[in-house]
Amino acid sequence: MSAPPAHDACGEVRARPVHAAPMLRAGRWLAVPLPPRALAYGAALILLMLLSVALALTLGAQGLSWRELPTVLAGGGTPVQQWLAYTLRLPRALAALGAGAALGLSGALFQSVTRNPLGSPDVIGLTAGASAGAVAAAMVWPGLLPVAWGAAAGALLAMAAVWFGSGAGFAAPQRMVVAGIAVGALALAFVQYALSNLRREQAHLAATWLNGNLAGKTWNDALLIALACAVLLPLAMALAA
């Protein structure tokens, strides 16, 4: 039950003081509220993240034991254990965490822009545009751009097409969704056409890349994702402030 309203000496209802949540400030341009419940959720998520990394290093037939894990992470252990931890498993685990954080951030941004709790990057053809750019860079015009840069260029072109195609930028969510469906269909048609003209091995490799795969991820991949999150997360927080 909620507490009854307070009354002053004259019998009039007096509003109870509301305690503001503590704020995280960065200069004068950014102030992020930190309510206790959000801090508790954040701490729980950090613990789950650390646990998932530990499980990624210990599970499986070749995984490290829980007793060996602190020694190997501190730089000890055998060369095989160092290779398993720092070359094979840890980069993949960190790349997976970074990709999940980036996907969560993009979902939150698109839900805010489209004013729809079900909004996602594929609503405006962003995912299909990135796929088309990746296929173009990897298979159609190999060597023109790195695959990651090709995916970014395709996503930017798709966003630009939706921006101009809606006639009102991102200010009209209904028009934006319709334009995004059209842009996404065109991008997916290009992807299917490119895959149909490739050799079976190339098409299989491209399909594996488009569906997502953590096999073979290195520290360079984890670093690229970390840099993207480090740049985009403060920008997203500034937009939400």
Are the C-beta atoms of 150 and 137 separated by less than 8 Å? yes
**Burial letters for 121-148: b for 16+ Cβ neighbours within 10 Å, e otherwise?**
bbbbbbbbbbbbbbbbbbbbeeeebebb
Is 82 in the same domain as 45?
A: yes
Low-confidence spans in the chain with pLDDT less than 50: 1-2, 17-18
State whether 112 and 124 are in the same domain: no
Q: Are residues 126 and 208 in the same domain?
A: yes
End position of a domain, from candidates 116, 147, 179 = 116
Q: Residue 51's domain spans which residues?
A: 26-116
**Domain co-membership, 100 together with 61:** yes
Q: What is the structure's pLDDT at 9? A: 54
Does the residue 195 lie in any domain?
yes
Q: What pLDDT was estimated at residue 4? A: 54
DSSP string, 130-194: HHHHHHIIIIISTTSS-HHHHHHHHHHHHHHHHHHHHSSTTS-HHHHHHHHHHHHHHHHHHHHHH
Question: 7 in a domain, yes or no?
Answer: no
| Residue 112 forms part of a structural domain | yes
Residue 93 included in any domain: yes
Residue 23 confidence (pLDDT): 67
pLDDT at residue number 16: 52
What is the spatial distance between Cα 84 and Cα 139, in angstroms, rounded to a whole number?
A: 32
pLDDT tens string 98-156: 888 888 888 887 777 777 777 777 777 888 888 888 888 877 777 777 877 888 888 88
Task: Name the domain count of the chain.
Answer: 2
Same domain, 126 and 94: no
